[in-house]
Each structure stands twice: as C-alpha cells, then as structure tokens.
Chain A
Amino acid sequence: MSNIIQSGFDKEIQPSYLYEGYKSTIIRAPTKPLVMPKKSELSLTGPVFKDFKLGVLDHDLTKNAVKNGEPLGERIVVHGKVTNEKGHPIPYTLLEIWQANSSGRYIHKADQHDAPLDPNFSGAGRCMTDAEGNYKFYTIKPGAYSWGNHPNAWRPNHIHFSLFGGDITSRLITQMYFPGDPLLEFDPMVQSIPLKGRDLLISKFDLALTEPDFALGYRFDIVLRGHNATPFENL
C-alpha cells in the first residue's frame, strides 16, 4: 500500500447520513455508530481507471443521443479541475455524469414527472481529466423537476457527478448546481450540507469559458478526499 494519509470525511463540509428534511434518509441512514478500524490495518486500494477508453461522443451530451435533430434547450459547456485536498491535480480520472433534460425530465423509466422527454437527449455522459486534472463536457442545461419529498417540492437545476480519484476513500457522488437558482434555499439536498460547504456545489458562470454562438460556460472545480498526489502511485 502506498503512503496514503487519510483525511476522513470533513464533518464541517459533508452532509450526515440522517437529515430529516430529506425523508428517505430516515429509513436508510445507519443508526449505529460507524466502526473506525486502526488506519494501519486498513487496505483501501483497488483498481484505478487509467486506460479507460471513452466513446468519441461520451463527453458531448448535445450529440451523443441524437436521433432526428438536436436536443432542445440551452447548450452549456462545463469545465473544472479535479484536485486532492492539497490542491494537487488528479490526472486521468473518470467522471460520469447524468441529468434531466431541459424540461426537467429524466429518461429513467421510474421518472413520473409530467414533462416531455426529448428524443435527442439521453442525459448520460462521461469524460476524463487530462494530465493537469482538467475536465470538460458539453450538455444542455437541465430543468427543475418536482418530487414527492414534501408538498410542492422542486429540485433546483442540477447535474449528477460520479468520480473515483485514487482509492476507495476518494470516491465521490455529488450534484452540481447553478448560480442564482431560487430553488437552492428550499432544497433539502442542498440544505443538508453544512453552511461552510454549501456554496462548493454551486458552479460559476464564466464568460471566458463561454463559446461564442454555441454554449454558455460554467466552472465547477472538485476536491476529492485524500492527500495522495496521483491516483497511480500505488500501481
């Protein structure tokens, strides 16, 4: 095993398992204290996804599900850097993304929200960070949708992200939000995050990343748990 220094989940930043405002946590959050084995006795490594082969359109959700035209909605490009807690870039790590279409509808069979599907948009994609830890993908700005958590509950616009980093402790699934969204203050998912961490999930509009005549640019930087410099030092 490599000389990974463990950092743990930052309790001042991360949501807790039980958050009653998000009702499903009540029967799904562990109730007994988590067990913390001695760090020297833990093995946290696993495979890393260095030679991952992306499909040519995996990073472009505006094109990767086209059937008979272009998807409807506002095209955006999302840029960001993935680093560890020391600010060192995490190169060549996989990001998986999924989201609703511009009407706020998922292609998932269980989505019952009464908004139209878009035949030319699936909302699923993947990309990888480059040697400097930077990633970029194109998509359509997702719409808000209603859900059953409480009366008149609406999710703010968001994109779901899944990332790996270097070992099992750096694994992250999260959601990126958009600046100025009036639903943020009413959303239990966002409100579950301690105040100190809440703004970290709100992307920033960036005119410099905006592509003329094509797509609005947003920046969303991601910090994965841990201090190991690269995902590959244990290979």
Chain B
Amino acid sequence: MDKKHLQTPSQTIGPFFAYGLTPTQYDYEFKSWVDNNMVADIDAPETIEISGTVFDGEGQAIDDAMVELWQDDGEHKLYGRFGTGTEENNRFIFKTIKPKSVNGQAPFINVILFMRGQLLHTYTRIYFADESSLNASDKVLNSVDAKRRNTLIAEKVGQKYSIDIHMQGQKETVFFDL
C-alpha cells in the first residue's frame, strides 16, 4: 500500500506554447480560457495592475516566458496567465485585486514562471511595497537574505504595482523550493 509512484518529469514549455496556452493574447484562433484579467470587473475601484519584465542573465527582456499568478486569501481564489512578447518592452501585465493578509502574514501572490530554457518551472512571490509593517514581520520574507528581500516586493506607483524578475545576476530574484 502507498507504494510511491514516481513523479512525471518536467520538461520545458519551449518557445511555441502561445497558440496552445495563451492563444487569444497572440491572435490565434483557438480561444484562451484564461488571461491576465483575474477579476470579473477590471474597472472596479479595488482592481490593481501589476506589471514587470522578466530578464535573462544577459540583461535582455525575455519575450517568450509564461507568467502565472495564483492567489488565495481564503476569500478570493484567483488565477491569471500572460505570455511575454506582446506588450511593450516584453512586459507582463495583470489586473487583479490585492489579496488580504491571512493570519498576520504579509499579503502576497504566488508566481509560477515558465520559459524556453527552463526544464523545470520556477516559483517566486509578489509582495507589496505599501505593506511595509506586515512585510517586516512576515516569516517567509524573513527567511530570505535581507539583501535580496526587495526582489520580491512590487513598487507602487499610483494604483499600479511594478516588479521585474531577474533570472540571474546582481538583482537575481529569489526563487523558492516548494
């Protein structure tokens, strides 16, 4: 009983996922079932925008990554998906709502990142710069080297948040082993 079944190995999403996973965004005929608008009413006052760029180890903006946001604060379970390469400067962009703090933790959004050149996806998180006191006491953020913590925190400009993801280099984003 409970014999362990071996995990199916991961493989890269490759460069050609767009017409299967994010087809509407890239103007393919197959219809997307999900996109980067994670809330029903994107004009509602509580809607926020989160955008950024994914950079490779040579500092180039990656134009074929797929970014997924997963959030669950108990009240709102939201999911969004966006491929880079269609927005200006190869940005990703999402409309969502800011998650609530749960059990005193800083609010955050889980990020799963896929791209050509990644045989296995990476996990990171988005925290919010305007939650500085919750961020300061957050246990997950505090498990990260203080010098790298800001790689997880989105800056706020007006109602918009901005966070870049660096795969490598001085500003390499913190990725989690979940």
Contact = CB atoms under 8 A, between A and B. Distances in A.
B9 A14 contact: yes
Interface in B77-121: 77-79, 102, 105, 110, 112, 114-121
Interface residues of A, number: 78
Contact of A87 (B3, B10, B148): B3
Contacts of A171: 68, 112, 121
B51 to A, nearest CB: 20
A174 B9 contact: yes
Contacts of B16: 98, 100, 106, 108, 110-111, 160
A37 B176 contact: yes
A9 to B, nearest CB: 7
A108 B7 contact: no
Interface string A71-94: 000000000000111110000000
Contacts, number: 225
A98 B16 CA distance: 9
Interface in B6-64: 6-21, 23, 26, 28-31, 33, 56-58, 62, 64
Contact of A19 (B2, B119, B140): B119
Contacts of B115: 28
A62 interface: no
B4 A25 contact: no
Nearest to A46: B70
A224 interface: yes
Given A34-B177, A45-B72, A108-B16, A28 B79 contact: no
B11 A224 contact: no
B122 A200 contact: no
Interface residues of B, number: 67
Contacts of B116: 24, 28
A172 to B, nearest CB: 6
B120 A17 contact: yes
Contact of B72 (A47, A174, A223): A47
A65 to B, nearest CB: 7
Given A43-B72, A47-B72, A14 B10 contact: yes
Interface stretch (A178-186, A189-197, A209-217): A189-197
A224 B19 contact: no
B160 interface: no
B16 to A, nearest CB: 4
B168 interface: yes
Interface string B162-178: 00000110001111111
A123 B120 contact: no
Given A45-B72, A173-B11, A28 B140 contact: no
Contact of B28 (A122, A125, A197): A122
Contacts of A87: 2-3, 5
29 contacts: A15-B9, A17-B120, A17-B122, A22-B117, A30-B173, A31-B57, A34-B177, A36-B177, A37-B143, A41-B140, A45-B77, A46-B78, A46-B79, A47-B72, A47-B78, A85-B5, A85-B6, A86-B2, A86-B4, A96-B21, A98-B21, A108-B18, A126-B33, A160-B14, A160-B16, A168-B110, A171-B112, A198-B9, A223-B6
Going nearest first, the 10 A-B pairs with the smallest beta carbon separation are A98-B20, A24-B117, A28-B117, A46-B70, A27-B57, A15-B119, A34-B177, A47-B77, A108-B16, A124-B20
Interface of A: 6-10, 13-17, 19, 22, 24-32, 34-38, 41-47, 52, 55, 64-65, 83-87, 96-98, 100, 106-111, 122-126, 160, 162, 168-169, 171-175, 189, 192-193, 196-198, 200-201, 222-225
